[in-house]
Amino acid sequence: MSTLTALIIVLAILMTIVGGETGIRSFFSVLINTMLLILVAILISWGISIPILILIFIPLKLVTIIFLGTHDYTVAKNSFYAAFLVCLIVSVLILGCQWLAQAAGMGPEAGEVLVGLSQMPGLSYPMIAVAVAIFSSLGAIAEAAVAMSSGLLEIKKHNPNISRMNLIASGNRIGSDVLGTAMNTILFGMFGSFLSLFLWYFRLNYSMGEVLNEKLFVNEALIIMYSLIGVLLTVPLSTIFLSRGMNKNGVKDGSK
Amino acid sequence: MKAKNKKRYIIALIVAVIGLVLTACTYFATNIYSRDDVAVITDNVIKDRLIEKDKDVYNNVDQTREQTLHLKVLSGKYKGRTFTTKNVYYPSQMVSQKYRARQRIFVNIKKGDPAIVNPKRDWVLVLALTVTIALMIAIVGRHSFALIISMALSWLIFYLVIVLDVHMNGAHIILLFSLADIIFSFFGLLIDQGFNKKMLATWLATLLGVFISFGLCYLVMQLTGESEMKYETGDYATQDPRGIFLAQTLLGILGAVMDESTDIISSLYELVQTRKDITVNQLIKSGRTMGQEIMGPLINVLVLIFISGALPMTIIYLRDNNSLGSAFGFTLSLGATQSVISAIGIVLTVIFATGCSLLFLKNKKWKWGKKE
């Protein structure tokens, strides 16, 4: 048995024991999510328009993460709307920043790795870089949206007559925790993903100025910031969506 | 409350203005770089000529194009001089770069012959950082200072660990990054929560989560003989790639485990504070419910980070008619393994975080016993 298979089996068992039914659902959400990402790679390699793929796969991936990961329908629906809107805003930001930074494509070692591979694939690597940035930050946005919505709904449950102003104030307080929860995950995830690159810079005596202008470093640092901005935008947007949805529900309850 | 918010927005605005000034300074900076010189492309419209249309063995259609660029050097001993140079690029821009009119770039001039190195990108980083920090202050308020300091400290420690690793030439890399994890989590939690019992419990849960899950996965790797672990496919390997992979795993897992422990333990601590009669069983049940909610999304965050990073490479492998299996083996298998190990860490942390929060309960009961 390969190590990866063995580890996946261990993970499945642990998630079932610790998580119960939610755990099993989360396991499948992760699995489907990974497969969707590989599917994106396949479709892009076939030459299908990348912006269209991005627009189709953002909601697909959000649905997998949010609806399979949470069991409260109101939380899931609210998080989905907020996360989708944030993803669209962040996509625009990413398009702008990537256009300014021109940090697409393979890094300085490319020549060595790419021996035997096509260097002129006829695909737009600037667009691929945008796709990578969007999908990297999408997970953090979805997580933040779920945490925000479930936290706010909890407050609403204990305090049904809470005013909109108070709800927004509570939202900001929860937002600070949510950001704290996301920040280290994103930062160390990126450290863990790019450690070898940093070692490479250091061993090849790159100067500070060179590193700060180097394609892959800029790309990575930008992805960390897109994710943080995404998480930050989720805080007010989740609150707004929830308080709107609440008002509608309030009317419904009143008419009953 | 309103006045407080207003103050917050004013500070955010000030930070934004300072950030924009710094962005402009970085954009126009020319003399702070040691190796290459800064130049500006003086053309308003760049002459861009098609050299040939290409079709490679994989039937990929691309072009070879050539830009004629007029440069004015802004720093170094050639300052003020102008050059004309050519830049060949492919529109897919995978390994080549297309330049834009009026853009600032780095050049390396040897014997009066300029070679273009890179576009100037650092000011975009400053700009993005400005947006992030201003937004953070506007939305989160005062707490953002702790977050920013914690993040800056993480970068600093990360830098020091790399210096140390290169100094030790990659020896004892697992030990080094284990120690790094201990230090990272201590300072991260200290800044976030201050030095108290809650912070120590969170720290303990984090360390248990990281090291026990890493140990477990290491055991599984040994038992399966690390079969199909293609360490040689790791990018930018300047030292033993297996060591680098293990160190990357130790780092990648830490953030998620730390955040998760903080989340679970803080909430359970609140619970113990507000409901003094809570039983051990109730506490375990609450911890488990919280863990179930949090683990799926957290795992997804890491999976997306680890797998997305490998997408450009996967796409080129698939484009060149490799099978999905071989493309996966070459570009995704290490990232996928790293994701699974981190996921195991995240799941196990639910147990450790809940377990560590029982410490407050016992201590509390014990204290009450004394008082009575």
User: What's chain A look like in SS3?
Assistant: CCHHHHHHHHHHHHHHHHHHHHHHHHHHHHHHHHHHHHHHHHHHHCCCCHHHHHHHHHHHHHHHHHHHHCCCHHHHHHHHHHHHHHHHHHHHHHHHHHHHHCCCCCCCCHHHHCCCCCCCCCCCHHHHHHHHHHHHHHHHHHHHHHHHHHHHHHHHHHCCCCCHHHHHHHHHHHHHHHHHHHHHHHHHHHHHHHHHHHHHHHHCCCCHHHHHHCHHHHHHHHHHHHHHHHHHHHHHHHHHHHHHHHHHHHHHHHHC
The burial class, CB within 10 Å (0-12 / 13-18 / 19+), for A93 is: buried
Contacts of B62 in chain A (CB under 8 A): 120-122
CA-closest candidate to residue B335, choices A143, A94, A7, A200: A7
The H-or-E segment that residue B110 falls in is strand B104-110
Residues of chain B contacting residue A218, judged by C-beta atoms under 8 Å apart: 121-122, 124-125
C-alpha B117/C-alpha A210 separation (Å) is 10
- Find out whether B181 and B247 touch, Cβ atoms under 8 Å: no
Q: B92-101: string of b/e by CB count within 10 Å (b at 16+)?
A: bbbbbbbbee
Nearest CA in chain A to B314: A41
Task: Look at residue A255 in the predicted model and tell me its pLDDT.
Answer: 37
Q: Is B302 on the interface with A (CB under 8 A)?
A: yes
Beta bridge partners of B69: B85
- CA A26 to CA A12: how far, in whole Å? 10
ipTM of the complex: 0.90
CA distance A206 to B31: 17
List of residues 6+ apart from B167 with CB closer than 8 A: none
Judge residue A153's burial from the number of C-beta atoms within 10 Å of its C-beta, 0-12 exposed, 13-18 middle, 19 or more buried: middle
Alpha helices in B275-332 (DSSP H): 280-308, 311-319, 324-327
By Cβ distance, the residue of B35, B166, B251 closest to A191 is: B251
CB environment B188-225: b (16+ within 10 A), e (fewer) = bbbbbbeeeebbbbbbbbbbbbbbbbbebbeebbeebe
User: A175: which residues sit within 8 A by CB, 6+ positions away?
Assistant: A148, A232, A235, A236, B139, B140
Residue B21, both tokens: 């000034």
Q: H or E element: which one contains B239? A: none
Residue B191: which residues within 8 A CB-CB, separation 6 or more? B146, B149, B150, B153
Q: How far apart are CA B321 and CA B291, in angstroms?
A: 43
pLDDT tens digits, one per residue of B325-347: 888 888 888 889 999 999 999 99
Are A117 and B317 within 8 A, CB to CB?
Answer: yes
Mean pLDDT is lowest, of A241-250, B50-59, B82-91, B128-137, for A241-250
Q: Are A7 and B343 in contact (CB under 8 A)?
A: no
The CA distance from A194 to A162, in Å, is 45
CB neighbours of residue A108 within 10 Å: 18
Residue among A119, A236, A31, A109 nearest B299 (CA): A31
Report the 10 Å Cβ neighbour count for A189: 32
pLDDT at residue A2, as a whole number: 87
Tokens of B118: 């890179």
- The DSSP code for B328 is I
Q: Which of B92-101, B187-196, B343-352 has the highest mean pLDDT?
A: B343-352
- Give the DSSP letter string of B22-89: HHHHHHH--SS-SSSEEEEE--SS-EEEEEEEEE-TT--EEEEEEEEEEEEE-SSTTTT-EEEEEEEE
Amino acid at A31: L
CA A38 – CA A60 distance, rounded (Å)? 13
Q: Is residue B351 scored above 50 in pLDDT?
A: yes
> With an 8 Å Cβ cutoff, are A69 and B296 in contact?
yes
Closest Cβ opposite residue B141 in set A29, A34, A172: A172
Distance from the first to the final alpha carbon of chain B: 41
Q: Is B249 on the interface with A (CB under 8 A)?
A: yes
Residue B163 confidence (pLDDT) above 80: yes
Looking at residues B111-129, what average pLDDT do you find?
89
Spans of chain A below 70 pLDDT: 108-116, 245-256
With tokens 């300014």, the residue in question is A100
Q: Of the candidates A29, A119, A229, which has its C-beta nearest B94's C-beta?
A: A119
Chain A hits for B36, CB-CB cut-off 8 Å, are: 210
Q: How far apart are CA B283 and CA B215, in angstroms?
A: 27
pLDDT of residue B371: 39
So what's the pLDDT on residue A7?
A: 94
Least CB–CB distance from B92: residue in A6, A109, A124: A124
Please say whether the dihedral angle defined by the alpha carbons of residues A129, A132, A133 and A134, taken in this order, is positive or negative: positive
Q: Which pLDDT does position B21 carry in this prediction?
A: 95
Lowest mean pLDDT among B203-207, B292-296, B360-364: B360-364
B282: nearest Cα among B363, B350, B358: B358
Q: Residues 21 to 50 of B: which have CB under 8 A from any A CB? A: 32-36
Please state which of the ranges A148-157, A240-249, B83-92, B129-138 shows the lowest mean pLDDT.
A240-249
Query: Which of A22, A139, A204 has its CB closest to that of B305?
Result: A139
Q: What is the mean pLDDT of chain B?
A: 87
d(CA B185, CA B203): 7
Strand duo B104-110 + B61-73: pairing: unpaired
Interchain contact, A196 vs B244, CB within 8 Å: yes
Distance from CA of A248 to the nearest CA of B (A): 26
Tokens linked to B273: 């504070």
CA atoms of B261 and A101, how far apart (whole Å)? 36
